Amino acid sequence: MTLNPSTQSLPKHVSQLQCSLGWDAQSATELDLDMAVLALDTHDKLVAGKEGFIYAGHPRHPSGAIQLLNDSITGDGDGDDEQLMLSLLKLPADITKLLFVVNIDFGEEQQQDFSQAQNAFWRLLMVANRQVLLKHSLSNPQWQGITTLFVATLECVENQWQLTPCLKPSPLQTFNELLQHYS
């Protein structure tokens, strides 16, 4: 397997990760950003069907390895608005890839997109030492019409977790479309 040049191997001792999502509230149009993770197998299909799709409507994986801690709908306050905890040691062996996604809830229906997001970010860090492994700005004036972003993948390759940044718009506009595509 050829790795993306920006792929990095996680240190072997890393077992706990935290994903954070933040954005600034806006007075004119309140955006509701949501993060999700898709727990995939070697064929890029959800492990255990929709149980492998962790988001605000299903905030915990049955194994306890992935858990969304909070769901902000406005972005009010400073710092992280949403957090997701990930325990690599608890992940079932058939989960070989995690796909991290950020979506604007009802973005298409409300004519909202990432070009309107103020100071939006997504990051992944190691819990033990708070070291940031990856951070993306999700605010981009060129992302008109974009309501869903793929932000990163974490894939187990030969017993080593590989982190690949992939900040790119998704052609799938809603979490429901993601669920159908990866099932």
Q: Check residue 118 and give its pLDDT.
A: 86
In a domain, 111, yes or no: yes
The verdict on residue 173 lying in a domain is yes
Least confident range of 4-13, 144-153, 162-171: 4-13
pLDDT at position 75:
43
Residue 1 reports pLDDT greater than 50: no
Q: What is the pLDDT of residue 174?
A: 87
Q: Is residue 121 part of a domain?
A: yes
Indicate whether 56 belongs to any domain: yes
| Domain coverage including residue 69 | 8-182
Residue 2's pLDDT is what? 42
* Count: domains in the chain: 1
Q: Return the pLDDT at 130.
A: 93
What is the tens place of the pLDDT at every residue in 31-80? 889 999 999 999 999 998 899 999 999 999 999 999 998 654 444 555 56
**Averaged pLDDT, 125-151:** 94
39 located within any domain: yes
Q: How far apart are the first and last CA of the chain?
A: 24
- Average pLDDT value over all residues in the chain: 88
- Say if 1 falls within a structural domain: no
Rg (CA), the chain: 16
> Sign of torsion, CA 79 68 126 154?
negative
Q: How far apart are CA 70 and CA 59, in angstroms?
A: 9
Where residue 98 sits, what CATH number does that domain have? 2.60.60.30
Q: What is the pLDDT of residues 105-123, one digit of tens each?
A: 888 888 999 999 888 999 9
Residue 163's φ and ψ, nearest 5 degrees, are -100, 125
Amino acid letter, 95: I
**For residue 112, is it within any domain?**
yes
On whether the CB atoms of residues 169 and 113 are closer than 8 A, the answer is no
Q: Is residue 2 in some structural domain?
A: no
